[in-house]
């Protein structure tokens, strides 16, 4: 199965971000891609934490979800919609924080899965400060879905987002559920990405004998934030098979079910797990 990671440098304009996303997805479709993965906050990297709350949508309703559904259908793609803010509902959370949600669309335009980011990023080194819990509500459940490729192969896909990457127990839960492909839409900061991005991605692939595909934001954003980029595909043996360092672009990779089976047969570490 051919996969594309879409790397963006999203702005404070939803309309501009969707236009750039559509252009890159069209390029991917023209190259025979079946599954396209967008980065975290593909739709908006705005000025201040409150900006994301102003564009939050109700599940199944809203222009960003309509865009994802329509584009998946028109281009015949599976689209993993990075993340967008989804309303948690007043009955759930009176302070109206949103979920940071990944929604997955089939080539028919149907939403087949939603994952709400579980681990919320907090970081302060005296120069940069982030605290997602101010505006976001954490999810609670790991989510996997099944993707039937054009060649008849069914891939079980585990969903995660950005900061989740630092919590290996989530990915082990995916592996125990049979996941063969682990997706990580992200907007890693330049500081933390430079230090930890590639080692973490390769570790998650190696320890779970799975493909890992991480679509990232990558560059200097108009709000002053700088993201690390380096959208990356790692194979089940921990080898980097595709990367895009910085700026907009695509990472294309072929996922080989035979290689995955071979790695798991030769080194059956998943069967040897004790704890």
Pick the catalytic residue: 43, 52, 57, 162?
162
Among candidate residues 162, 174, 153, 177, the one with its CA nearest the CA of residue 42: 162
pLDDT digits (tens, 9 = 90+) for 185-204: 999 999 999 999 999 999 99
- pLDDT at 93 (0 to 100): 47
Kindly report the CATH class assigned to 2-272: alpha beta
Instruction: List Cβ neighbours of 156 (8 Å cut-off, separation of 6 or more).
Output: 144, 145, 146, 147, 177, 178, 179, 180, 181
- Spatial separation of the C-alpha atoms in residues 239 and 235, rounded to whole Å: 5
Active site residue 117: yes
pLDDT digits (tens, 9 = 90+) for 217-226: 999 999 999 9
pLDDT digits (tens, 9 = 90+) for 94-132: 567 999 999 999 999 999 999 999 999 999 999 988 899
Active site residue 40: yes
Pick the catalytic residue: 34, 40, 57, 132?
40
Give the start-to-end residue ranges of the domains of the chain.
2-272
Active site residue 2: no
pLDDT > 70 in the chain, percent = 97
Pick the catalytic residue: 52, 117, 246, 263?
117
Q: What is the pTM of this model?
A: 0.97
Per DSSP, 41 falls in state T
Average pLDDT over residues 32-56: 94
């Amino acid at each position: 199965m051919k996969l594309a990671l879409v790397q963006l440098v999203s702005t404070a304009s939803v309309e501009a971000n969707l236009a750039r996303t559509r252009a890159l997805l069209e390029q991917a479709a023209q190259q025979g891609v079946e599954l396209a993965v967008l980065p975290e906050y593909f739709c908006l990297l705005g000025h201040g934490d409150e900006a994301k709350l102003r564009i939050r949508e109700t599940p199944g309703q809203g222009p960003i979800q309509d865009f994802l559904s329509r584009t998946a259908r028109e281009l015949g793609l599976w689209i993993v919609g990075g993340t967008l803010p989804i309303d948690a509902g007043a009955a759930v959370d009176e302070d109206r924080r949103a979920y940071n949600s990944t929604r997955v669309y089939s080539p028919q335009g149907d939403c087949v899965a939603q994952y709400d980011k579980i681990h919320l990023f907090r970081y302060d080194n005296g120069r940069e400060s982030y605290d997602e819990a101010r505006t976001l509500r954490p999810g609670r459940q790991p989510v996997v879905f099944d993707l039937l490729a054009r060649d008849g192969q069914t891939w079980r896909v585990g969903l995660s987002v950005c900061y989740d990457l630092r919590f290996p127990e989530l990915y082990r839960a995916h592996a125990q559920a049979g996941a063969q492909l682990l997706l990580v839409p992200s907007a890693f900061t330049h500081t933390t990405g430079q230090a930890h991005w590639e080692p973490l991605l390769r570790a998650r692939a190696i320890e779970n004998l799975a493909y890992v595909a991480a679509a990232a934001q990558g560059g200097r954003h108009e709000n002053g934030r700088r993201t690390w980029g380096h959208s990356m595909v790692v194979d089940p043996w921990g080898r980097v098979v595709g990367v895009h360092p910085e700026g907009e672009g695509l990472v294309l990779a072929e996922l080989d079910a035979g290689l995955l089976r071979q790695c798991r047969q030769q080194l059956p570490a998943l069967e040897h797990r004790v704890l």
